[in-house]
């Protein structure tokens, strides 16, 4: 199954851009979620949860989300999930902004985010 990966993680872009359509967002986690929301409003469906994993949006500057390649009708469950995820992310970021992490920590966050997308892709291909 093919998918679109919306990400701001350079590691995900590098790993998957030859296999999947990768939409690289140079902005924040919220910018990635806005891009995902725009895809959903055009009829794409969420394939991974926007807030998957245990790393909060105000901890890591990286986020990757899988959406379907086919735009059909607006899927209301995907709309609810992305809107709620954006609200939660904004609330968390307002409480505590993302720290200025060292390059080593940033690389660790890239690895964590990439492993979450790896898992999403693996589970997607089992169907």
Predicted confidence (pLDDT) per residue in 99-127, tens digit? 999 999 999 999 999 999 999 999 887 65
Q: Which long-range contacts (CB under 8 A, 24 or more apart) does 77-81 make?
A: 77/46, 78/40, 78/44, 78/45, 78/46, 79/40, 79/41, 81/46, 81/49, 81/50
pLDDT for 40-72, tens place per residue? 999 999 999 999 888 899 999 999 999 999 878
Q: What is the pTM of this model?
A: 0.93
Could you give the C-alpha distances from 80 to 35, 46, 72, in angstroms and in order?
15, 11, 17
Q: Which residue range forms the structural domain that includes residue 118?
A: 3-125
How many domains is the chain built from? 1
Q: How many CB atoms lie within 10 A of CB 67?
A: 26
């Amino acid at each position: 199954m093919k998918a679109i990966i919306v990400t701001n993680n350079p590691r995900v872009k590098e790993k998957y851009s030859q296999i999947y359509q990768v939409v690289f967002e140079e902005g924040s986690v919220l910018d990635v979620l806005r891009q995902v929301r725009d895809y959903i409003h055009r009829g794409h469906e969420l394939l991974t949860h926007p807030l998957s994993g245990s790393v909060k949006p105000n901890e890591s500057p990286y986020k990757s989300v899988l959406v379907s390649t086919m735009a059909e009708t607006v899927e209301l469950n995907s709309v609810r999930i992305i809107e709620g995820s954006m609200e939660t992310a904004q609330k968390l970021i307002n409480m505590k902004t993302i720290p200025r992490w060292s390059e080593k920590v940033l690389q660790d966050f890239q690895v964590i985010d990439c492993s979450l997308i790896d898992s999403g892709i693996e589970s997607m291909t089992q169907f």
